[in-house]
Amino acid sequence: MSQTEIAPMAAGNPDRLTGLKTFWHYFSVNRGAVIGLFVFILLVLAALFAPLLAPYAPDVQDKTAFLRPPAWQDGGSAQYLLGTDPVGRDILSRLLYGARFSLLIGAVVVTLALTGGITLGLLAGYFRGWVDVAIMRVMDLILAFPSLLLALVLVTILGPGLFNAMLAIALVLQPHFARLVRAAVMAEKSREYVVAAKVAGAGHLRLMLATILPNCLAPLIVQGTLSFSNAILEAAALGFLGLGAQPPTPEWGTMLATAREFILRAWWVVTFPGLAILITVLAINLVGDGLRDALDPKLRRS
C-alpha cells in the first residue's frame, strides 16, 4: 500500500478561517441575533466593570432616602437614577452588581450541565446496552418532574443558597444535554470516519472524545445557549421563592422577592430587576436563535 500523506490540521488553516466567516455570514443575517449579541456584550461589560460603573456599593443604605422614585418622576433626583429600595439602597448599583450573579449562574450551570451531559451521553450512546439503559432511565426520571419543582426539592435537601441553587439547576437541565449527545453519538458512530479511526487502532476514549464528540458540537452549542438563559430564569425564580441567593445579595430574583410587598406603593422596586432579567434572557435567546440558524441547517427555523 502506498503511503498517504495526511495534511496536519495546523493553526491558521484556511479552512477554519472560511468556516468562521461562513458562520458569521449566517449569524449576521439574523438581525435579532446581532442585537442580542450586542446587548449580551454590554451586560458582560456591566458585570465586569460594576465597581467602576455603579454610583454606590450594592449594600450601602441611605437612611434619608427610602423608596425614592426614579429620577424622572416627582420626588426623584439624579442622585438615584432608578430610585432606591425600601432600605435606601441604590437600585441601579444593585442591578449592575446583579449582572455578575446572573452571568455567573448561567456560566456555572451550563458548564456543570454540559460536563455531566456530555459524559453521560457519550457513555450511553457509545457503549449502548445496559449502560445506555441505566443512564437514560435516570435521565427520563429527572425529566418526569417539573423542572422548578425538582430544583426546589433539591435545594431543600442541599440547603438554600446561590451555589446549591446552581447545582440543583444544573442537575435538572443536564438530561437535555445527555439526550442530545447520545442521539448525535449514535448517528455518528456508524459513519465511515469513525470506523476508519477504529480500524486505525484508536481506543474508546480517543474515539469518543477526539473523533465523535467534535462532530456533535453544533446542537450542543445551541442547547447550551438556551440552557444559559433557562438557568438565569430558574435561578431568579428560586431566588424569588426565597431558596436561591439570600438577601442582601443583589441577585435579581432575590431583589424581586424582597420588593414584592411594596408593589402597589413603589412600582420601580419591582419593575427594574424583572426588566433586567427579561432583557438578559431575551438577548441570550436571540443569540441562541441566531446560532441555530448559523450552525445547524437542519434545525434552521425557516
Partner 1 sequence: MLRYLLNKIALLIPTLVGITICAFAFVRLLPGDPILAMAGEHGVAPARYEELKQQFGFDLPIWEQYARYVGEVATGDFGVSISSKRPVIEEFKTLFPATLELSFFAMVFAMMLGIPAGIFAAVKRGSWFDQSLMGTALVGYSMPIFWWGLLLIIFFSGYLGWTPVNGRIDLQYFFKPITGFMTIDTLIYGKWAAFRSVLRHLVLPTIVLGTIPLAVIARQTRSAMLEVLSEDYVRTARAKGLSSARVIGVHALRNALIPVVTTIGLQVSTLLAGAILTETIFSWPGIGRWMVESISKRDYVVVQSGLLLIALIVMAVNLIVDVLYAVINPRIRAA
Mention every residue, 6+ apart, whose C-beta is less than 8 A from residue 180.
117, 121, 216, 219, 220, 223
Lay out the site mask for partner 1 across 146-165 (x = CB under 8 A, - = otherwise): xxxx--xx--xx-x------
Among 233, 245, 291, 295, binds partner 1 (CB under 8 A): 233
Interface segment toward partner 1; rule CB under 8 A; list 69-77, 107-115, 217-225, 256-264: 256-264
Position 263 contacts partner 1 (CB under 8 A): yes
> Measuring CA to CA, which residue among 98, 101, 112 is closest to residue 224?
112
Nearest in space to 225 (alpha carbons), one of 167, 285, 267: 285
- Interface residue with partner 1 among 174, 240, 251, 287 (CB under 8 A) is 240
Q: Does 267 bind partner 1 (CB under 8 A)?
A: yes
- Could you say which residues in the range 268-287 bind partner 1, by CB under 8 A? 270-271, 273-275, 277-278, 281-282, 285-286
The yes or no reply on residue 302 touching partner 1 (CB under 8 A) is: yes
Nearer to partner 1, 59 or 140 (CB): 140
Burial class (CB in 10 A: 0-12, 13-18, 19+), 250: buried
Contact characters 31-70, partner 1, x per CB under 8 A: -x--------------------------------------
Total residues in contact with partner 1, by rule CB under 8 A: 45
How far is the C-alpha of 166 from the C-alpha of 235, rounded, in Å? 7
- Decide: is 260 part of the binding site for partner 1 (CB under 8 A): yes
Q: What count of other Cβ atoms lies within 10 Å of the Cβ of residue 53?
A: 15
Q: Is 106 in the site for partner 1 (CB under 8 A)?
A: no
Stretch that binds partner 1, among 8-16, 93-101, 173-181, 235-243 (CB under 8 A): 235-243
Question: Does 242 contact partner 1 by CB under 8 A?
Answer: yes
Beta-carbon count within 10 A of 232 CB: 24
* Residue 25: how many other CB atoms lie within 10 Å: 11
Instruction: Give the DSSP per-residue string, 108-124.
Output: HHHHHHHHHHHHHHHHH
Helix (H) or strand (E) holding 140, with range, is helix 129-144
CB 53, CB 46: distance < 8 Å: yes
Contact between 252 and 276 (Cβ < 8 Å): yes
| Cell, residue 301 | 427555523
* 253 CB neighbour count, 10 Å cutoff: 29
> Which one of residues 58, 83, 224, 253 is an interface residue with partner 1 (CB under 8 A)?
253
CB closer to partner 1, 212 vs 232: 232
Phi-psi region of 10 (alpha: psi -120 to 50; beta: other; left: phi over 0): beta
> In whole angstroms, how close is the CB of 280 to partner 1 at the nearest point?
9
**Which range in 84-92, 118-126, 193-201, 234-242 contacts partner 1 by CB under 8 A?**
234-242
- Toward partner 1, which CB reaches closer, 177 or 228? 228
Which residues here bind partner 1, judged by CB under 8 A? 32, 137-138, 140-141, 143-149, 152-153, 156-157, 159, 229, 233, 236-237, 240-243, 253, 256, 260, 263-264, 267, 270-271, 273-275, 277-278, 281-282, 285-286, 289, 301-302
